[in-house]
């Protein structure tokens, strides 16, 4: 049976939404989000989680005095068990911090259906294309190869698929014949850093009303 999206509560200045950000590397948009939260006070990042000890984005924990936690993959020859054990540890950390919204920011692991079902409607991701076009890990390459005239980014709820969840917001950028993967990435990154915090604003004030 399809699990209905359960969106976070409506927050307030007195009781902002408690956010966790999951990263695997630089957490490219994390600094923009944390700067935004200085003036947009209906949500607040309380936890930065990573599966990677060397994730550069962990430096923002010190910069903004936010709790950081690295949860590497447990040792196991059984890959399914390894994923389950890892996500159980993540889930417990989220519960311990009273997290209400999970923000994926360059988190490079695909979450299992079991984990998603626990948080469905409370996990969001940003993808560097205009979904449903160009899903997957090589969106910029695929856009350039397709020679289309526009791309952009999409903020969506996370479901059991890969880049298939309910679309919350999109913003376009133009693509021209001189663009390459790097230049397109830079164009879209600027838009992502503006759009992601805005969508979290909208979630925290109850803008979205969604049914599966």
List, by residue number, the catalytic residues.
127
What phi and psi values does residue 172 have, to the nearest 5 degrees?
A: -95, 155
User: Computed over its alpha carbons, how large is the radius of gyration of the chain?
Assistant: 17
CB atoms < 10 A from the CB of 24, how many?
18
What phi and psi values does residue 84 have, to the nearest 5 degrees?
A: -65, -45
Exposed/middle/buried for residue 147 (C-beta within 10 Å: 0-12, 13-18, 19+): exposed
> Is residue 23 within 8 Å of 50, Cβ to Cβ?
yes
């Amino acid at each position: 049976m399809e699990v209905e999206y359960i969106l976070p509560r409506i927050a307030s200045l007195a009781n902002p939404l408690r956010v966790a950000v999951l990263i695997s590397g630089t957490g490219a948009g994390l600094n923009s989000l944390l700067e935004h939260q200085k003036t947009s006070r209906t949500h607040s990042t309380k936890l930065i989680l990573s599966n990677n000890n060397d994730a550069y984005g962990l430096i923002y924990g010190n910069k903004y005095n936010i709790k950081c936690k690295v949860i590497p993959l447990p040792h196991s020859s059984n890959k399914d068990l390894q994923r389950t054990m890892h996500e159980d540890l993540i889930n417990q950390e989220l519960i311990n911090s009273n997290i209400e919204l999970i923000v994926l920011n360059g988190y490079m692991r695909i979450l299992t259906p079991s984990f998603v079902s626990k948080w469905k409607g409370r996990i969001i991701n940003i993808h560097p294309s205009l979904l449903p076009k160009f899903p997957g890990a090589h969106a910029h390459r695929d856009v350039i190869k397709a020679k289309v005239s526009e791309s952009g980014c999409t903020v969506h709820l996370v479901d059991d698929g890969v880049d298939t969840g309910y679309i919350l917001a999109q913003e376009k950028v133009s693509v021209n014949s001189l663009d390459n993967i790097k230049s397109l990435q830079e164009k879209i990154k600027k838009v992502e850093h503006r759009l992601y915090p805005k969508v979290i604003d909208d979630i925290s004030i109850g803008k979205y009303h969604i049914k599966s």
